[in-house]
Structure 1
């Protein structure tokens, strides 16, 4: 039977691919804005500027690129980005789930040892172990546990997937080049160029700011778990306050008691969007530096070449000012919040469906009557992790 971590990895990969594909034009335009080293768009003629002057900046650039170079330019580098996203999210969610389960298992192993030391019966110990296994996905591990788990998972993810992101970012950056032949380079051609100019080390350009960016999912998950805990507490308190006055509430028939509070798909979407919003606000300047370092090559303008993170920070401050660290942030915020919320909502549905299918296959009933339907309510009580 597939492990919890494997199911989480599949859900994360599927959700991330769908979420990125749905928001990719926003992602690529935000990257172009982050790579902008001068005022205005080089390709924007006065006529185009005037035509779309009434639109806000992100949408104006989207329309200018679409009209001047065709809508296909808004999907340049989509395939390597989808591959990078699927690998990245699968690795991240697998590591996050496996590490999280390890912490929960250790905590309950200690609790079981204490029960045995106190002379508890074998049945009581087994019951506690079964309860722990059922709640392993939804059980809170605290802020410190979330910080450690998300940080370790993020570092492993960055080290594995940075080469793919370097190629994907350079493909996106090439769409700003005036030469059509350069804009049409394939992923393999870009890969060869990266190796020719920087060797194997060239595929890990921007790895330092990427490791710092691990703070983004770390902050996101801490905020998500905190917001989720507060929401469930509020709903539990509301259910307890209203349940006691109902005929089927406290003291009534067990079937009339309200069940534990659950997170709907809409709840997951909203909570993830809020968590991602807060995390992105804090970490965006490092995201911009990472994008510029990964997009850098021999054909990059001289003012866009940096020897490292510190040189990039100093050069951007000197040439472009403090505001440059937030170029493209508005569009990136919109894209990343939508993508993250879609990812978590889709991942949750994939997780529930996969677990239901696994449970159905394990039972192998001759007449599969509502096996998944019976499993769904129990699975739906799990909190998205």
Structure 2
């Protein structure tokens, strides 16, 4: 119980610190570009047109809403983080207890570090993460809509409880779970890619006789996790767009977004436009040639 409380407190602190970053990322994902591009230099020193980065975007939000404006949607996100941590911890403990019971009954146990052991542990983690994601997704939807309100200056989603009532009245129970499928798929794929790659690296690329083997393996886990998140980013983008799609906010309606019947249609549309990585980076944002933005309807070349 003490470990769970510690995880909740640590997670809440990290959520508060990282919230402005997520806020800006979501606005970029939706396609909100309120600032004109500027001339900058790429990694090779060549002059290019660049879209405003993280700090310029943050200054724009502060200019309009003040520093507190960077934390729009924080309350439902904290609720999601707290509930998600509790659900994840409880389900994972149940899975581990069930695994111990099966092992004691069969007298078989996968050797630690073996492929079977990695598969077993990843399966337990997948179940725990999926349960936490399903339970907290309604708060995730509310968080995104509170953020996207910045575009049209709406106040439709003003609080956690009021937002719950608003979603239920307008969309029913299913409204709380829009965008859930691509989010779940992304989480599951990211977890398996990360753990399988880390197992391959730790087994075939790292010699146990090397010094600081434990630190090296932890580093490999972090690197493979970053690589997996990059591969599965399109699922995150599609999930977030579907969460605000056609919800009555300016950011979820044309000209910002098309009305997508399903998340597959959203995926296809983004793929055709070449926008599957939109919002993945908030630095060195190169301006696409001939791109039209919904905020001012200008075309930059």
Q: Same fold judged by TM-score > 0.5?
A: yes
Larger radius of gyration: 1
Determine the structure 2 residue equivalent to 1:117. Answer: none
Structure 1 position 301 matched with structure 2 position 253: yes
How far 1:55 sits from its partner (Å)? 8.5
Name structure 1 gaps, 5 residues minimum.
Answer: 1-5, 113-131, 240-260, 333-385
Contact 2:145/2:157 (<8 A) preserved: no
Q: Secondary structure at the match of 1:302?
A: coil
C-alpha separation in 2, matches of 1:73 and 1:218? 37
C-alpha separation in 2, matches of 1:56 and 1:282? 24
Match of 2:231 among 282, 295, 299: 282
Contact 1:150/1:218 (<8 A) preserved: no
Give TM-score, length-normalised by structure 1.
0.59
How far 1:326 sits from its partner (Å)? 0.8
Q: 1:237 to 1:109 in 2, by over 3 A?
A: farther
Match of 1:237 among 188, 197, 209: 209
Determine the structure 1 residue equivalent to 2:278. Answer: 327
Match of 2:264 among 310, 314, 327: 310
Aligned residues: 268
C-alpha separation in 1, matches of 2:119 and 2:152? 46
Determine the structure 2 residue equivalent to 1:204. Answer: 177
Q: 1:226 to 1:59 in 2, by over 3 A?
A: farther
Relative contact order: is structure 1 or structure 2 higher (C-alpha 8 Å, sep ≥ 6)? 1
Contact 2:88/2:132 (<8 A) preserved: yes
Determine the structure 2 residue equivalent to 1:68. Answer: 64
Determine the structure 1 residue equivalent to 2:8. Answer: 13
Contact 1:8/1:93 (<8 A) preserved: no
C-alpha separation in 2, matches of 1:9 and 1:217? 21
Structure 1 position 35 matched with structure 2 position 7: no
Q: Deviations over 1:83-129 (max 9, x none)?
A: 101211332243234324533553354338xxxxxxxxxxxxxxxxx
Q: 1:310 to 1:21 in 2, by over 3 A?
A: same
Q: Deviations over 1:180-210 (max 9, x none)?
A: xx27722333222211111111111112112
Contact 1:170/1:190 (<8 A) preserved: no
Aligned pairs (5 A) from 1:123-138: none
How far 1:225 sits from its partner (Å)? 5.8
Aligned pairs (5 A) from 1:1-385: 9-36=4-31, 40-41=33-34, 44=35, 57-111=53-107, 142-179=117-154, 182=155, 185-214=158-187, 215-223=189-197, 234=207, 236-238=208-210, 270-271=219-220, 273-296=222-245, 297-299=247-249, 300-303=252-255, 304=257, 305-318=259-272, 321-322=273-274, 324-331=275-282
C-alpha separation in 1, matches of 2:97 and 2:87? 15
Contact 2:182/2:239 (<8 A) preserved: yes
Give TM-score, length-normalised by structure 2.
0.73
Q: 1:87 to 1:226 in 2, by over 3 A?
A: farther
More helix by share: 1
Q: Secondary structure at the match of 2:260?
A: coil
How far 1:16 sits from its partner (Å)? 2.1
Contact 2:12/2:78 (<8 A) preserved: yes
Contact 1:146/1:222 (<8 A) preserved: no
Determine the structure 2 residue equivalent to 1:379. Answer: none
Contact 2:142/2:157 (<8 A) preserved: no
Q: Secondary structure at the match of 2:276?
A: helix
* Farther off after superposition, 139-148 or 211-220: 139-148
Q: 1:91 to 1:228 in 2, by over 3 A?
A: farther
Q: 1:171 to 1:102 in 2, by over 3 A?
A: same
